[in-house]
Chains A and B, each alone.
Chain A
Amino acid sequence: MEFQKDLVKICEMYPQLKLNFRYKIWETDFLRFYHGQINYNISKTSISLYTTIYKGKKSCSFSLKGPTKEMLVEKIESVLALIDKLPEDPDFIDLEDDLTKSEEKIKTNNIKKVDLDRKIQILKNVAKTLESYKFKIYGTFICNYRTLIFVNSNGINKREISSPIYLECKAVNQKNEVTVLETYGGERFESFKETEFISNLTEKVKIACNEVIDVNPGEYEVILAPRCIGEYFMYLGSSIHAQSLDSKQSFFEGKVNEKVFLKSITLYDDPKNEKLINFDYNSDGHIYKKLSIIHQGIFKNFFVDNYYGRKLNMLKNGAEGSALVMETGTKNLQEIIKSVKKGLYISSLHYMNFINRKETSITGLTRDGTFLIENGNITKVVNNLRFTENISDIIKGISEIENKAYTIPYSENYGEFGMHSVRMPHVKVTGFKISSSTRTV
């Protein structure tokens, strides 16, 4: 790519500076549907360059849309007049210098492969199947195509291409607004099994047709769906980033190689896992490889990027927590449900926010299907519930882990957004604190 070569040349033109470039060519085709019909389809394209210039320990950053070599040189020259006047960042040591490259895979542009007609046909099939249950579908069907280029003055010159697909389909009961959710995410559309997707959603719809009840606040035995435990781990991720050590907000500070959870808990970050959306590099351009985070209950590693690795004298590892995988357990889901005399099945979480990040205290709500379990069977739909809990206590309370894992995708949706995914099983948690009911589904 010509502009990638230009970026390398510009680094050579300014040997007195440390230049860091992130160049992105990004496109999305974003279908949003509601009430069993299209809301709108959006096509967006963008070419952007994010540049940071260091002169010694002084720095300045800027973005350019649709950049050319001439535009960039002009901007650098204008910044040079300013940069000497800026105060230093004494903590800055150097830019990323990991030159390891990942093998570049040929990626299909899924915007072309899964075009609007194809998406609509799939959604029509889903909508039609659910008609007889009086449920309608709401959600998004997104395809992205992104080329990301990393160039810097330390010789980094790398490229990553991705084209993730994301389908989120909520089925909503037209009588009482009970919702259930099914998602698909990945880069290989061949892995999307339409029949299986519709069948999974239909099974959830059947359960969602049951009576709706309210439950009182208190401690419950709960089964968390893979999406839920995935989200708790993602929130806990803020304590795993090295930056949280610097800002004194990490739950894991001083706990490396200490037992933090039960032996059954093993978690790693696996950006090349074939069941997940893959990543070659972290946001610095460092190679992104599999990393153990919690091994048999023992905390092993922080996510360490270039800046905080150098500042805190930690070994940088390029991990970012974008592909979390939890080890499976021994029992199947039916056995786990059977083991609950009276409890809750929680499908999805909503609007979580930390009360105290270091303590991992959090509040949030259930969403898209909360169910009562009685004598080992899912019996009724429960109004959405609020929990106020420490995430660390939720994980400490895991008493069973399913013997199967599921891929759960997340679309970030803001700006030139990306997608990522996690691979999680169902888990059973004892003593889960429900603090109030929403009194609505």
Chain B
Amino acid sequence: MKKLVYDIVNKLDLPGITYADVRFTDTDTQSIYFEKGNLKHFGFDLDSQALGIRVLTDGCWGFAGTTILNSNSIDKTIKRAISNAKIGSKFRSDPVAFKKLNAVQDSFLYQPEEDPFQMDDKEKIDYLEKIARKLNGNEQIVYSYVYTELYRQYKIFANTIGTFVDSMIYDSMPMMYVLASNGKESMCRTFPGHMNGRRGGFEIVRQQNMEVQTEEIIEEAIELLSAPRIEEERADIIIGNGHLALQLHESVGHATEADRIFGKEISYAGKTFIKPEMLGNFRYGSDLVNIFSDSTNKAGMGYHIVDDEGTPGTIVDIVKNGILVDQQTSQETAALLGVKPSSNMLASYADDIPLIRMTNFCLSPGTGSLDDLIKSTENGYYIDYTKTWSIDDNRHNFQFTTEIGWKIKDGELKHIVKEPTYFGITPEFWASCDGICGEEEWEFHGTFHCGKGEPGQAMHLSHGVAPARFKNIVCNVKA
């Protein structure tokens, strides 16, 4: 396939084509799903190959992609990419322009501890079946599932500048869920929560120790049925890692994607309240808040040698001591903002066009343990495990519900509360952050399902976070 990609790039080195890139992906996925203790789905999609060609001609992008990889189809795809750019340029008033990068030639082949695509399928199924059966014995648990998604992608990227990089990655995403009911209402618990994707093979599934957690989530789901709701109008909240990853994702990650500033996502994902003139002076959070985009950390799912337009992986500060200092950018939007490209242009598969996507989008650790943070809280709630998330199309007003919360009184965890629901305005919320735990609590959480773009793409990405406390938050919103 390397030769095929190389040959296509050479074919695109034509007068009139300012720039072109070619990507090939070969993706393997496997999913295993147990419901109420029974295997409902065991499925795989192996060697799913795709090719994508992006061309810049007359100041306009054109793209074509295909999963049909015979020579006739490839020739058609090349022609469609070029004609899409040429015809499209008739409806383009601001030509796309950016500085040329240096060429990169490199390779990265991730080695998981347990390659799920080399393992015996029966071993994986047996492992998950034991967990599924443990979830299925209690009368008050009316529904349960165990789900695992395993993923491997080989990618070749090449462009007309001379960059040629290939990579192989492995990601895994295990999950279990129980629903308790008393006939009147129902409450759920999941583990390890919705930000459950990680870089690695089947060892990721084992590391979650789901079999040890089954009793706890069953007990908590049942206890939630009779638990109180938060009564205070406002309270201090400590957010656990699993949910804080989503809070960071929605209210900072998406808000600082530069394509939103320029309106490229208005039609679907939305805009952002951030304007170019805010860079360097806008207070996004308290002095404690430091947020960065890091595509160089191999432990996260956002690692790469180059992004999908050839920008080398890098670390970029987004919020420094509470001040907004940069954005996640493409080459095109970086040029418009007058900053360096941040290596955030990615596509899910080769037949998808690259978009500005989060990679490893992280909150820097502060100091102290979670225990220390709870002990220093007089009156509040510790909340975790996302249940509901929603944010407006400017990434300004958000509202989240978690599955469970624990009342904190005089530095100790007390009883649980059901469906804690809090609301905030993004910069006010991050300005209220008065404590972030230290490196000992900092870890990656991630997802396979960050949706963006038209046509839509679901991206794998990670968030490095440590639990953090936010003061005086509206936390008892009810339907």
Q: Mark A residues whose CB is within 8 Å of B.
A: 28, 30-48, 52, 59-63, 65-66, 82, 85-91, 116-117, 120, 123-124, 138-140, 168, 170, 172, 177, 179, 246-249, 350-356, 358-359, 361-365, 367, 384, 386, 388-390, 393, 412-414, 417, 433, 435-440
CB distance from A389 to the nearest CB of B (A): 6
Interface positions of B from 71 to 92, Cβ below 8 Å from A: 73, 77, 80-81, 83-85, 87-92
Determine whether B266 belongs to the interface, using a CB cutoff of 8 Å to chain A: yes
Task: Give chain B residues whose Cβ lies under 8 Å from the Cβ of A393.
Answer: 479
Would A62 and B44 count as touching, CB distance under 8 A?
Answer: yes
Would A41 and B87 count as touching, CB distance under 8 A?
Answer: yes
Q: Which of A44, A66, A352, A355 contacts B455 (CB 8 A)?
A: A44
CB distance from A145 to the nearest CB of B (A): 14
Task: Give chain B residues whose Cβ lies under 8 Å from the Cβ of A438.
Answer: 392, 394, 396-397, 425
Q: Which of B42, B62, B387, B392 contacts A351 (CB 8 A)?
A: B392
Query: Assuming A60-B43, A172-B263, A248-B143, is B390 touching A46 (CB within 8 A)?
Result: no
Would B48 and A63 count as touching, CB distance under 8 A?
Answer: yes
Would A413 and B62 count as touching, CB distance under 8 A?
Answer: no
Would B91 and A37 count as touching, CB distance under 8 A?
Answer: yes
Chain A interface helix/strand/loop/mixed: strand
Task: Give chain B residues whose Cβ lies under 8 Å from the Cβ of A52.
Answer: 43
Interface positions of B from 347 to 403, Cβ below 8 Å from A: 351, 353, 387-394, 396-397, 399, 401
Task: Give chain B residues whose Cβ lies under 8 Å from the Cβ of A440.
Answer: 273, 392, 394, 396-397
Known: A35-B94, A438-B425. 8 other contacts (CB 8 A): A86-B39, A117-B90, A249-B143, A351-B393, A363-B401, A364-B390, A390-B479, A433-B479
Docked complex Cα distance between A273 and B88 (Å)? 35
Interface string of B404-423 (1 = CB under 8 A from A): 00000000000000010101
Task: Give chain B residues whose Cβ lies under 8 Å from the Cβ of A352.
Answer: 390
- In the complex, residue of chain A having the shortest beta-carbon distance to the beta carbon of B83: A116
Would B125 and A86 count as touching, CB distance under 8 A?
Answer: yes
Would B397 and A386 count as touching, CB distance under 8 A?
Answer: yes
Docked complex Cα distance between A364 and B63 (Å)? 34
Task: Give chain A residues whose Cβ lies under 8 Å from the Cβ of B185.
Answer: 356, 358-359
Would B266 and A123 count as touching, CB distance under 8 A?
Answer: no
Task: Give chain A residues whose Cβ lies under 8 Å from the Cβ of B83.
Answer: 116
Docked complex Cα distance between A411 and B369 (Å)? 46
Would B84 and A40 count as touching, CB distance under 8 A?
Answer: yes
Query: Assuming A351-B391, A413-B454, is B264 touching A61 (CB within 8 A)?
Result: no
Would A437 and B397 count as touching, CB distance under 8 A?
Answer: yes
Would A30 and B455 count as touching, CB distance under 8 A?
Answer: yes
Query: Assuming A62-B43, A140-B454, is B479 touching A355 (CB within 8 A)?
Result: yes
Q: Which of B44, B419, B479 contacts A362 (CB 8 A)?
A: B479
Task: Give chain B residues whose Cβ lies under 8 Å from the Cβ of A388.
Answer: 399, 421, 477-479
Would B91 and A435 count as touching, CB distance under 8 A?
Answer: no
Task: Give chain B residues whose Cβ lies under 8 Å from the Cβ of A40.
Answer: 60-63, 84, 88, 353
- In the complex, residue of chain B having the shortest beta-carbon distance to the beta carbon of A61: B43
Would B129 and A87 count as touching, CB distance under 8 A?
Answer: yes
Determine whether B298 belongs to the interface, using a CB cutoff of 8 Å to chain A: no
Q: Which of B268, B421, B451, B479 contacts A389 (CB 8 A)?
A: B479
Would A38 and B456 count as touching, CB distance under 8 A?
Answer: no
Determine whether B101 belongs to the interface, using a CB cutoff of 8 Å to chain A: no
Interface positions of B from 37 to 64, Cβ below 8 Å from A: 38-50, 60-64
Would A45 and B68 count as touching, CB distance under 8 A?
Answer: yes
CB distance from B12 to the nearest CB of A (A): 16
Q: Which of A28, A139, A386 has the most CB of B within 10 A?
A: A386
Would B456 and A413 count as touching, CB distance under 8 A?
Answer: yes
Task: Give chain A residues whose Cβ lies under 8 Å from the Cβ of B351.
Answer: 44, 46
CB distance from B126 to the nearest CB of A (A): 9
Task: Give chain B residues whose Cβ lies under 8 Å from the Cβ of A85.
Answer: 121-122, 125
Interface positions of B from 316 to 352, Cβ below 8 Å from A: 351
Q: Which of A32, A35, A120, A364 contacts B90 (CB 8 A)?
A: A120
Determine whether B161 belongs to the interface, using a CB cutoff of 8 Å to chain A: no
Would A117 and B87 count as touching, CB distance under 8 A?
Answer: yes
Docked complex Cα distance between A433 and B85 (Å)? 47
Would B39 and A87 count as touching, CB distance under 8 A?
Answer: yes
Would A139 and B479 count as touching, CB distance under 8 A?
Answer: no
Docked complex Cα distance between A22 and B66 (Å)? 19
CB distance from A181 to the nearest CB of B (A): 9
Docked complex Cα distance between A365 and B94 (Å)? 32
Q: Mark B residues whose CB is within 8 Å of A.
A: 38-50, 60-69, 73, 77, 80-81, 83-85, 87-94, 121-122, 125, 129, 142-143, 179, 181, 185-186, 262-264, 266-268, 270-271, 273, 351, 353, 387-394, 396-397, 399, 401, 419, 421, 423, 425, 451, 454-458, 474, 477-479
CB distance from B142 to the nearest CB of A (A): 4
Q: Which of A38, A63, A89 contacts B45 (CB 8 A)?
A: A63
3 A-B pairs with least C-beta separation: A61-B43, A361-B479, A438-B397
Can you show 10 pairs from A to B with CB atoms below 8 A apart? Answer: A34-B264, A43-B63, A65-B50, A87-B125, A124-B91, A367-B393, A388-B479, A435-B399, A436-B397, A440-B397
Task: Give chain A residues whose Cβ lies under 8 Å from the Cβ of B68.
Answer: 45-47, 65-66
Task: Give chain A residues whose Cβ lies under 8 Å from the Cβ of B125.
Answer: 85-87
Task: Give chain A residues whose Cβ lies under 8 Å from the Cβ of B38.
Answer: 87-91
Q: Which of A39, A46, A116, A367 contacts B87 (CB 8 A)?
A: A116
- In the complex, residue of chain A having the shortest beta-carbon distance to the beta carbon of B351: A44
- In the complex, residue of chain A having the shortest beta-carbon distance to the beta carbon of B68: A66
Would B46 and A62 count as touching, CB distance under 8 A?
Answer: yes
Q: Which of B48, B77, B129 contacts A65 (CB 8 A)?
A: B48
Task: Give chain B residues whose Cβ lies under 8 Å from the Cβ of A39.
Answer: 61, 264
Docked complex Cα distance between A436 and B424 (Å)? 9
CB distance from B74 to the nearest CB of A (A): 11
Task: Give chain A residues whose Cβ lies under 8 Å from the Cβ of B94.
Answer: 35, 37
Docked complex Cα distance between A158 and B293 (Å)? 50
Would B392 and A28 count as touching, CB distance under 8 A?
Answer: no
CB distance from A306 to the nearest CB of B (A): 14
- In the complex, residue of chain A having the shortest beta-carbon distance to the beta carbon of B181: A248
Q: Which of A38, A117, A417 contacts B92 (CB 8 A)?
A: A38
Docked complex Cα distance between A41 and B50 (Å)? 18
Task: Give chain A residues whose Cβ lies under 8 Å from the Cβ of B458.
Answer: 414
Task: Give chain A residues whose Cβ lies under 8 Å from the Cβ of B64.
Answer: 42-44
CB distance from A292 to the nearest CB of B (A): 28
CB distance from A40 to the nearest CB of B (A): 4
Query: Assuming A87-B38, A249-B186, A351-B392, is B93 touching A386 (CB within 8 A)?
Result: no
Would B455 and A61 count as touching, CB distance under 8 A?
Answer: no
Would B390 and A353 count as touching, CB distance under 8 A?
Answer: yes
Q: Which of A36, A47, A61 contacts B93 (CB 8 A)?
A: A36
Would A32 and B42 count as touching, CB distance under 8 A?
Answer: no
CB distance from A26 to the nearest CB of B (A): 9
- In the complex, residue of chain A having the shortest beta-carbon distance to the beta carbon of B88: A38
CB distance from A362 to the nearest CB of B (A): 7
Would A365 and B393 count as touching, CB distance under 8 A?
Answer: yes
Would B67 and A353 count as touching, CB distance under 8 A?
Answer: no
CB distance from B193 to the nearest CB of A (A): 15
CB distance from B367 to the nearest CB of A (A): 33
Would A86 and B67 count as touching, CB distance under 8 A?
Answer: no
Task: Give chain A residues whose Cβ lies under 8 Å from the Cβ of B40.
Answer: 89
CB distance from B48 to the nearest CB of A (A): 5
CB distance from B395 to the nearest CB of A (A): 9
- In the complex, residue of chain A having the shortest beta-carbon distance to the beta carbon of B457: A414
Task: Give chain A residues whose Cβ lies under 8 Å from the Cβ of B66.
Answer: 44-46
CB distance from B75 to the nearest CB of A (A): 13
Docked complex Cα distance between A430 and B429 (Å)? 32
Docked complex Cα distance between A31 and B388 (Å)? 32
Docked complex Cα distance between A336 and B477 (Å)? 31
Task: Give chain A residues whose Cβ lies under 8 Å from the Cβ of B43.
Answer: 52, 60-63
CB distance from A56 to the nearest CB of B (A): 13
Would B88 and A355 count as touching, CB distance under 8 A?
Answer: no
Would A61 and B390 count as touching, CB distance under 8 A?
Answer: no
Task: Give chain A residues whose Cβ lies under 8 Å from the Cβ of B456.
Answer: 412-414, 417
Would B92 and A37 count as touching, CB distance under 8 A?
Answer: yes
